[in-house]
């Protein structure tokens, strides 16, 4: 029985790897830092395919580009090239520096992805948790991409997954008020400290601050766990402001799941959030 199981697992792995061109640990900066690397998953003989640029989560303090679960294969099956990036982390660098790392990685992708069969003018940005905040920010605050010679013209969509920091001052006030009224000690390394302990920085790192009409902000699919009140409130706040700026925005409230499972299950055939993603992709890829 164990031999049969091993054989089936091996066959599944071989099948999933068939017809792929995977390049790992590609440097997007020339400083030799291991966090300045990305992975590219491309179908065999890829040519001019749309691109997914994925940003991992981990509270801005941990996480890896390898934490992608089903997503690379799923997106390749849908005709995409999938890119997953690392970036430096807190406390080694501050929030502004790690955000600029993500933008630098994106700039490298726009300049070089055609060499791997990708279309640099059709990029979908996504990320989970901390990566959701970073994805939303670089797709709304155009200063980061402009610094790297990129623009919103190449963006076809943004899919932030269960972020709680699209409005940083709001989550700080919500979390700290909850602890205060319950007589709990405030965290020593909460959102206030992570984002610089300066109200001006908190506002500037909030994607909602930079929403405006006429910026060519791409359409958004905002996935969140329905049972999580803070992430739900943040999702609908971001969506409301995007819609007020005439940016197409859809919120999908995922039920019977949690923060990690929502992200890990993307790509499962019977997963409701995946079905919402399929619909979104169909809309943004229309000629």
- Distance of CA 39 to CAs 21, 66, 75, 131, 260, Å? 11, 8, 14, 16, 21
**CA separation for the pair 285, 109 (Å, rounded):** 19
Tokens 């229309």 -> residue: 286
**CA separation for the pair 274, 101 (Å, rounded):** 28
- Distance of CA 206 to CAs 54, 89, 165, 193, 199, Å? 19, 18, 7, 15, 11
Summary mean pLDDT of the chain: 93
Architecture of domain 2-167+206-284: 3-Layer(aba) Sandwich (3.40)
**CA separation for the pair 7, 219 (Å, rounded):** 43
Q: End-to-end CA distance of the chain: give it in Å, rounded.
A: 50
> What percentage of the chain's residues is helix, strand, coil (to nearest 5)?
45, 20, 35
pLDDT for 19:
74
Contacts of 189 (CB under 8 A, 6+ apart): none
Residue 14: pLDDT band (50, 70, 90) is very low
For the segment 54-71, the average pLDDT, to the nearest whole number, is 98
DSSP H or E stretch at residue 281: helix 272-284
Task: Render pLDDT for 230-255 as a digit per residue (tens, 0 to 9).
Answer: 999 999 999 999 999 999 999 999 99
pLDDT for 20:
87
- Distance of CA 4 to CAs 13, 18, 229, Å? 14, 21, 45
Residue 211: pLDDT band (50, 70, 90) is very high
Say what percent of the chain tops pLDDT 90. Answer: 92
Query: What is the model's pTM?
Result: 0.93
- Distance of CA 199 to CAs 95, 135, 188, Å? 14, 21, 17
Task: Render pLDDT for 123-176 as a digit per residue (tens, 0 to 9).
Answer: 999 999 999 999 999 999 999 999 999 999 999 999 999 999 999 999 999 999
pLDDT for 237:
98
Is pLDDT above 80 for 56? yes
| DSSP assignments along 35-79, one per residue | TSEEEEEEETT--SEEEEEEE--STTTS--TT--TTHHHHHHHTT
Structure token digits, residue 166: 């699209």
Structure token digits, residue 148: 């790297």
């Amino acid at each position: 029985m164990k031999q049969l199981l091993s054989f089936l697992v091996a066959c599944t792995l071989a099948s999933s790897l068939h017809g792929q061109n995977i390049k790992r640990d590609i440097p997007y900066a020339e400083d030799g830092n291991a966090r300045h690397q990305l992975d590219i998953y491309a179908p065999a003989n890829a040519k001019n395919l749309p691109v997914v640029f994925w940003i991992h989560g981990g509270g801005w303090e941990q996480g890896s580009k390898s934490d992608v679960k089903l997503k690379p294969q799923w997106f390749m099956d849908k005709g995409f090239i999938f890119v997953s990036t690392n970036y430096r982390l807190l406390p080694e660098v501050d929030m502004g520096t790690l955000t600029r790392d993500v933008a630098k990685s994106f700039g490298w992708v726009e300049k070089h992805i055609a060499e791997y069969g990708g279309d640099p003018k059709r990029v979908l940005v996504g990320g989970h948790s901390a990566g959701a905040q970073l994805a939303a920010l670089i797709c709304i605050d155009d200063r980061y991409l402009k610094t790297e010679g990129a623009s919103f013209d190449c963006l076809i969509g943004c899919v932030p997954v269960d972020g709680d920091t699209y409005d940083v001052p709001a989550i700080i006030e919500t979390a700290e008020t909850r602890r205060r009224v319950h007589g709990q000690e405030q965290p020593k390394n909460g959102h206030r400290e992570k984002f610089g302990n300066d109200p001006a920085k908190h506002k500037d790192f909030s994607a909602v601050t930079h929403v405006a009409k006429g910026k060519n902000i791409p359409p958004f699919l905002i996935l969140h766990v329905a049972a999580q009140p803070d992430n739900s409130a943040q999702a609908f706040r971001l969506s409301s402001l995007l819609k007020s700026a005439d940016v197409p925005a859809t919120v999908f409230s995922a039920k019977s799941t949690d923060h990690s499972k929502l992200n890990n299950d993307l790509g499962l055939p019977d997963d409701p959030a995946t079905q919402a993603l399929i619909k979104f992709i169909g809309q943004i890829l229309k000629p």
